[in-house]
Amino acid sequence: MTVTTAFDRLCAGLGRHPGRPVLVTDAVTLDGGGLLRKTDAWAARLAARDLPRGSRIAVLARGHADVVALMLAIYRLGLVYVPINPRYRGAELQHVVEDCGASMLLCDQALADDRLGMLDPGLPRFGIDPGSALPSLPDAAPAVASALRDDETAILVYTSGTTGRSKGVKLSLHAIVGNIGALTELWGWTADDVLSLALPLFHVHGLCIGVHGGLLHGMCIRLHARFDPAAIVTDFAQDATIFMGVPTMYGRMLEHLQAQPPAAAVLARGRLFTAGSAALRPAVLEHWEQLTGQRILERYGMSETLITLSNPRDGERRPGAVGHPVPGCEVQVVDDAGHPVAPGEIGELWVRGPYLMQGYWNRPQDTAAAFCRGWFKTGDVVRSDPDGYLRIVGRRSVDVIKSGGFKIAAPQIEEVLRQHPSVRDAAVVGVPDARWGERIAAAVEANPGHVPTLDVLGPWVAEHLADYKKPRQMEVVDTLPRNALGKIQKPRLLPLFQRPDDPRD
Ligand code: MLC
Ligand code: AMP
């Protein structure tokens, strides 16, 4: 009997249509055979390093063809792919590389800057793109190695929690291929589709749905290193049929359509527009539909659970709702004691099924705390409509912020603010924002003799953390509001930052 592994399923589509592009970037157009040859070359170079199975390979890159081939090569050798956010500053990069115990770092030339100086000098580092100032991995003869098994960890996706430091979410290919296969079948993806992909490739949205979903179907992925609305329209003018974005991207696309009205007719030719990673405001869904005739399909997911809920392709795509469980996902809505609530009542979303994460890398206690009786506790607060459509209505923790689709831990920013000489204490909140979903705002207590300003503290945070974590608003307060136990009452800070034009839906 032939056993088909998730890796076989992922690559099966690549051999199906010789000559037809599966990956198109600014620099190259590859058919399935071309991508597999690139993958073979990377696998041979990596295999020559004789790394033990399960070694973590840290990859700091933007979206381009070699990074996709490198990822497949890592799977092919039974190694673990650890994509790193290129926006991370030195200490964030260092944390990921050290936390996962990377055996080597592979890096785009353009990203090989002074941040690498913070890494252990003993860590081997190589360039990805030809002509890189970093050494290249020498070419080598093909090596025989058995590909990743279904139960092995394929990827560590680093994600923020409620604390300062990000955690590596262990995902198997079995989970990714199973979940994304079910989701994209629900969405009716086929080999004839062309995906316009401008999401970053270090998170579940762009990496798992985008790259793995596209590969699974052997369809063409038009891959962009950065998001530019005009480039998306160009894709649709050529042959794109599907676009996936975080809500902020749809907002930016709407601004583009305002400036370039004929582009709406080009997008109208698309087959499927999906949104996720943060709440899509009904106003954006409606405006998009008015201009393009396309109704965005919203779904919900998380690094730890992959994609759990989705509106239907053929049924009603309900504004403000995220639909029903994707096949393979079981959900329940529970109260604070972990008991299911009555339909229509608010509670936390718990998820169960075969496609959850394998746990947090090297954090057994955090892993244990994230589950209850086999259910993963998402921390998201939901409510179901009478007919079962689920809505995300909030989050249990005020310390988790979603801005531009990126998950951000408020305590990480507070820690950096407190290191500034002008700051005695700080509390960071996410304020509902039409453009970014939430914008980051900081209330600070000043140290005696100092007058903290946003002009100083904004760049200070951006020096230490990814730019999207920078506070965009700041207020100096005499004392932060605290409860009897001394805990800062963050919801009381929100009125300090709300503006009249902030969304209320
Ligand atoms: C950037 N800016 C912000 C900001 N980010 N301002 C406020 N809040 C933020 N969060 C500012 C910059 O300082 C700059 O200002 C200007 O906006 C342009 O910045 P940019 O960095 O060039 O923007 P851009 O590269 O276009 O980034 C916007 C974006 C990006 C939407 C493309 O945020 C993005 O890629 N988001 C996707 C995140 C993602 O993939 N999430 C999925 C997680 S998986 P100035 O003044 O300097 O011009 C997950 C599970 C699931 O969540 O369900 O999918
Ligand atoms: P991440 O850890 O980056 O994968 O982010 C996961 C979080 O994104 C979830 O826990 C939700 O809070 C949020 N999220 C994802 N999709 C949606 C959505 N459609 N609506 C609201 N929030 C979402």
Q: Which residue has the tokens 């599966």?
A: 22
- Of 456, 482, 460, the C-alpha closest to 469 is 460
Average pLDDT over the chain reads 96
State both tokens at 127: 């360039």
377-426 residue pLDDT tens: 999 999 999 999 999 999 999 999 999 999 999 999 999 999 999 999 99
410 CA → ligand 1 middle, Å: 17
For the chain, what percent of residues have pLDDT higher than 90? 93
277 CA → ligand 2 middle, Å: 4
Find out whether the beta carbon of 86 lies less than 6 Å from any atom of ligand 1.
no
pLDDT of 89 reads 96
CA distance 304 to 291: 35
DSSP tag of 57 = E
CA distance 262 to 300: 31
Quick one: which atom of ligand 2 is closest to the CA of 406? 3
Find out whether the beta carbon of 367 lies less than 6 Å from any atom of ligand 2.
no
Q: Which residue has the tokens 């053929």?
A: 314
273 CA → ligand 2 middle, Å: 18
For the residues 123-144, what does the mean pLDDT come to?
86
321-355 residue pLDDT tens: 999 999 999 999 999 999 999 999 999 999 999 99
Q: Which residue has the tokens 């705002």?
A: 441
pLDDT of 130 reads 73
Find out whether the beta carbon of 472 lies less than 6 Å from any atom of ligand 1.
yes
The ligand with the least distance to the CA atom of 473 is 1
368 class by beta-carbon count within 10 Å (0-12 exposed, 13-18 middle, 19+ buried): exposed
250-260 residue pLDDT tens: 999 999 999 99
Helix or strand holding residue 233 (H, E): helix 229-238
For the residues 140-146, what does the mean pLDDT come to?
78
Q: Which residue has the tokens 């304020």?
A: 431
With beta carbons less than 8 A apart as the criterion, state whether 391 and 320 touch: yes
- Residue 1, pLDDT > 60, answer no
pLDDT of 4 reads 87
With beta carbons less than 8 A apart as the criterion, state whether 489 and 481 touch: yes
- Residue 2, pLDDT > 70, answer no
Residue to substitute in 167, 402, 469 for testing ligand 2 pocket (most ligand atoms within 8 angstroms of CB): 402
CA-nearest residue, atom 23 of ligand 1: 227
232-278 residue pLDDT tens: 999 999 999 999 999 999 999 999 999 999 999 999 999 999 999 99
Angle between helices 247-259 and 229-238 (to 10 degrees): 80
- Of 4, 72, 76, the C-alpha closest to 34 is 72
CA distance 486 to 345: 31
Find out whether the beta carbon of 167 lies less than 6 Å from any atom of ligand 2.
no
179-230 residue pLDDT tens: 999 999 999 999 999 999 999 999 999 999 999 999 999 999 999 999 999 9
15-60 residue pLDDT tens: 888 999 999 999 999 999 999 999 999 999 999 999 999 999 999 9
For the chain, what percent of residues have pLDDT higher than 70? 99
Find out whether the beta carbon of 227 lies less than 6 Å from any atom of ligand 1.
yes
pLDDT of 3 reads 59
- Residue 470, pLDDT > 60, answer yes
CA-nearest residue, atom 32 of ligand 1: 227
- Residue 162, pLDDT > 90, answer no
The residues, ordered by sequence, that sit 6+ positions from 369 with a Cβ below 8 Å of its Cβ are: none
Local confidence band at 505 (pLDDT 50, 70, 90 cut-offs): low
282 CA → ligand 1 middle, Å: 20
CA-nearest residue, atom 1 of ligand 1: 468
Find out whether the beta carbon of 310 lies less than 6 Å from any atom of ligand 2.
no
pLDDT of 141 reads 80
This prediction's pTM: 0.97
CA distance 235 to 400: 34
CA-nearest residue, atom 43 of ligand 1: 203
